[in-house]
Homo-oligomer: A and B are copies of this chain.
Amino acid sequence: MSTVSKSFNHVTTPLLKQVIEAALLASGETLTIEQLQALYSDEQRPHRTDVNAALAALRTDYANRSIELIAVAGGYRIQIRQEFAPFIAQLWEEKPVRYSRALLETLALIAYRQPITRSDIEAVRGVTVTTQMIKTLMERDWIHVVGQRETPGRPSLYATTKTFLEYFGLSSLDALPPLPQLSEPLANNPPVFIDETDPNL
């Protein structure tokens, strides 16, 4: 793999930089070198050193921009520079002061079905899980990542935190109110709710 990426070094570097930027900007999360490499298929997977070079190039590119690339525990993240906070703060003041129904539904599913992936949640009809939602729940420290499912894409598994239990005054997850008398519609494994033939999709 190393040999391949080395030989194409000149050609791939600019593109790799763009791909990494796209991934970091779209995910809004900290991504590891491995996750960045995994954006490519096996044959085209860039070498670790190429990824590092691309990250360094991005950091230079951002010198005069409003964003910065920072290394945090376990990976890299793009964030808005501190000096823009006063301006950006205006945006957040307009935000609604209530959580959306979709966010609460996402939280409820994580609480009752943990550990659960984003697509497990999405598979339950009608709940779209945006990155923003997961971020909001993480920032509130109500959910955290407890692992990855070993399926393609290695999706994160979410579970609730101690803070969640404390906020809702629960001694443990067992103390969650029992599910209502609905006949149980949610299979945990395999998740089989998307009806591909549904004409409304």
Residues of A near any B CB (own CB < 8 A): 14, 18-19, 21-23, 25-28, 31, 35, 38-40, 64-67, 80-81, 84, 87-88, 90-94, 97-100, 102-103, 117-119, 122, 126, 130, 132-133, 136, 139, 151-153, 155, 198-201
Say how many copies of this protein the assembly contains: 2
Extra pairs beyond A19-B66, A93-B117 (10, CB < 8 Å): A14-B64, A19-B84, A22-B88, A23-B84, A23-B87, A91-B153, A94-B122, A99-B201, A100-B201, A132-B200
CA distance A133 to B200 in the complex (A): 5
* 9 tightest A-B CB contacts, nearest first: A93-B153, A22-B66, A22-B84, A94-B119, A18-B66, A21-B66, A39-B87, A93-B155, A136-B200
Name which of A25, A28, A88, A139 has the most chain B CB atoms within 10 A of its CB: A25
Asked if A19 meets B87 with Cβ closer than 8 Å, knowing A67-B25, A201-B100, the reply is yes
